[in-house]
Amino acid sequence: MTNIAVFASGNGSNAVNLVKAFNAGNRIRVALCLTDRENAPVMEKMRELGIDTLYFPRSVWKEDPKAILDELHARDVKVIALAGFLCFLSEDIVNAYEGRILNIHPSLLPAYGGRGMHGANVHKAVIEAGDTKSGATVHVVTNEIDAGPIVVQKEVDVLPDDTPESLEAKVHEVEYSIFPEAVMKTVASLTPPAMPKSVDDAWAEVLGVPNNVPPQPAAQPAPQPATYSAQPAAQPTMNIAQHITQDAMPPTYLVWSVVMTILCCTVPGIVAIIYSASVSSKFYQGDMEGARRASRNAEIWIIISFVLGVITNTLYIPLSIAGLF
């Protein structure tokens, strides 16, 4: 489980969206919400969702960042998401979480970024400029305002009859989709994916017996912290995670393959096991289509094994009674 913290100053719609996106699963969890406004609406919303929510006055954010960092470290927070957070962020915090602080901005950065460019100010500026495209950007926070590497960015059309209010609503919808995606990419970049189990290990786990073959894993390099090189201002995206996360791996059906082999029809069951074992290996090699194909084939051969088993037993019993076997 990877804990993240959300910093917010206002209504907290993006903060709430992150909780709903992650806290029902078991890989990423919003563990803490911090705000710089004592009566910010986000506080009540997050508390209703069961999230620890703390208020620190702006003087603490500026003059005593260690108090903030102590709260983050106490909850083992790995990634910070700024969801409408308008307070000064100390260099101490930025440096302590270098490459692991994300900000959601309501424009296509680098356009309409910098001081004063937040919320309605951005949408009003886009309308007044006559732009036909706007959107939202999630970027890595650095010590320069809205200038960090871009993680995810998505466009929306600006129509002739759009107002700042209608444009804001469209951009909000984009934010709700790209912010969780950016968090997942950043979390995925922190730790390489786990290596798939060997076929021997999988069999041993399914059958409940020890695997007597001593494991001989290849030496793995130590995980390195995420680093980010300087990007030109017009760089559209940042490639933080090249590989899809483990959540997307197709089902292997290994347990069913073994069950069908033992209880139904051996040969189709073995074929199903072969396909089942290849799902994870293809997935971790980056062959997503091959993994899906192996998963489908495993499912098909499980069905074949089951059907042949039913047919065989159906014919065998009456023939046995008739004395032919």
Alpha carbon distance 295, 272 (integer Å): 9
Alpha carbon distance 194, 214 (integer Å): 19
Alpha carbon distance 257, 311 (integer Å): 18
Please confirm, yes or no, whether 73 is among the known catalytic residues.
Answer: no
Alpha carbon distance 182, 170 (integer Å): 19
Alpha carbon distance 195, 201 (integer Å): 12
Question: Residue 134 to residues 17, 137, 155, 179, 238: CA-CA distances in angstroms?
Answer: 21, 10, 6, 16, 19
Catalytic residue among 105, 118, 123, 139: 105
Look up residue 199 and give its two tokens. 């076929």
Alpha carbon distance 270, 260 (integer Å): 9
Look up residue 181 and give its two tokens. 């995606």
Q: How many CA atoms lie within 13 A of 53 on its CB side?
A: 23
Q: How many residues does the chain have?
A: 325
Give exposure, 22-54, as e/b (b: 16+ Cβ within 10 Å): beeeeebbbbbbbbbbeebebbebbeeeebebe
Question: Residue 239 to residues 151, 186, 225, 233: CA-CA distances in angstroms?
Answer: 7, 10, 15, 15
Question: Which residues are designated catalytic?
Answer: 105
